[in-house]
Amino acid sequence: MYQSEPMLDDLQTWGCLAHVRIRSESRQKKEKLEARTRLLLLLGYSKSTLGYQFIDLVTAPVVTARCGNLKFHEEFTTDGTYMTHLLENALFDGDHVPPETVPVARIKTSMETCLPARSDGIFRAEKPLEVILLVNDPAETVPCSRGTCN
């Protein structure tokens, strides 16, 4: 790890959706056209095993899965109200009736919140962004373990 760049390939957007493969012995119906993946929400990384921790968006148990058995959708998450109702039902015996399909929302990024959305799906600034040069700013050179970092 010393003097080498860390591998960041396994880092994913927290709170994103993922399709996780269901093992054949775990499937209730073993029919040919039955679903073989389940839509889950990424909670984080497992402390005990190599893998990711997810919450099931229908029944709410926490599941651990490895990288080869899943497909991330980092630009999407689920609706916050749906998650609140799901957790209330699972933890406090709530009486919320979940919808038949899981509501999906696009994850907001900093660029989407700064620029107005267009109907054609392309974000454009109304006026050109200004470039501001900072001269003699103490934030330009920051001391670090290797000397100075820019």
Q: Is residue 82 situated within a structural domain?
A: yes
Domain that holds residue 79: 17-111
Q: Is residue 133 situated within a structural domain?
A: no
Measured distance CA(81)–CA(1) in Å, rounded: 42
Q: Is residue 120 situated within a structural domain?
A: no
Q: Is 18 exposed, middle or buried (0-12, 13-18, 19+ CB in 10 A)?
A: buried
Comparing C-alpha atoms, which of 123, 98, 101, 93 is closest to residue 110?
Answer: 123
Measured distance CA(55)–CA(77) in Å, rounded: 12
Task: Check if the beta carbon of residue 96 is closer than 8 Å to that of residue 88.
Answer: yes
Q: Is residue 46 situated within a structural domain?
A: yes
pTM score:
0.60
Q: Is residue 28 situated within a structural domain?
A: yes
Q: Is residue 41 situated within a structural domain?
A: yes
Please name every residue paired with 64 in a beta bridge, in sequence order, or none if there are none: 53
- For residue 64, which phi and psi values (nearest 5 degrees)? -110, 135
Q: Is residue 23 situated within a structural domain?
A: yes
Per-residue pLDDT tens listing for the chain (150 residues): 578 887 777 778 778 888 888 777 666 666 777 778 888 898 888 888 888 899 888 888 888 888 778 888 888 888 888 888 888 888 887 777 877 788 888 877 665 555 555 555 555 545 454 544 444 444 443 344 444 444
pLDDT at residue 2, rounded to an integer: 74
Q: Is residue 70 situated within a structural domain?
A: yes
Domains contained in the chain, number: 1
